[in-house]
Amino acid sequence: MIEQPNAPLADLALDPVEFAPWPTLVENDDLLLGRLTFDFGSPLATLVREGLSYALPPSPQPQSRDLEASFVSTSKGTIIRFGFSDVIAFRVLDENGLIQLWEASDVTPRPAQTTFRATGHAWSRESMIAFLGEGSKARFSYFVATDEWCLEVICNAEPEVIEVGPAVIARAEANGS
């Protein structure tokens, strides 16, 4: 492989954390992660030597998104569904995996509390090819941050965010033990 001066990967490795807006109807809401599903497509795996491939049975409802995440907005009392198409990679982290982002946000505040985009952080350095966009432009990942979990997704399409409807809200019974 011939190395080129000023190659995009070298630039991406040195970039500081950069935030960008991702305006959504819940960009500053308090959210709780409820459900996460990922459609790998078909087949799931192919074993060439054995001449076999493994797949899930067809779904009665065709999936239009690769990754779907449902959150409860405690601010609005509703269910919010995020649909991510053409997913390259995703991860779910607790707050320990986000220290670098929160420290960077102390210096240059992120554009919103809950939904935003970022690049130049540790994962973008560890997985440079996934974060490499067209030309020399670094790709931003999409974040949905809650108090407990953070969903980060790298995808090729603008995510769809919809309000599904009201959440079922009930009084939790205190555990007496």
Residue range 151-160, pLDDT digits in tens: 999 998 999 9
Q: What is the pLDDT of residue 12?
A: 45
Instruction: Judge whether residue 48 has pLDDT over 90.
Output: no
67 pLDDT band, cuts 50/70/90, is: very high
Report the candidate in 11, 10, 13, 18 with the shortest Cα–Cα distance to residue 101.
Answer: 18
Instruction: Judge whether residue 72 has pLDDT over 80.
Output: yes
Spell out the residues 6+ positions from residue 155 whose beta carbon is closer than 8 angstroms to its own.
Answer: 66, 67, 84, 85, 86, 87, 88, 142
pLDDT in tens, 84-132: 998 989 999 987 778 899 999 999 999 999 999 999 999 998 988 888 8
Q: What is the mean pLDDT of the chain?
A: 83
Q: What percent of the chain has pLDDT over 90?
A: 51
Report the candidate in 120, 121, 78 with the shortest Cα–Cα distance to residue 97.
Answer: 121
Q: How far apart are CA 149 and CA 93, in angstroms?
A: 6
Between 135 and 78, name the one with better pLDDT: 78
82 pLDDT band, cuts 50/70/90, is: very high
60 pLDDT band, cuts 50/70/90, is: low
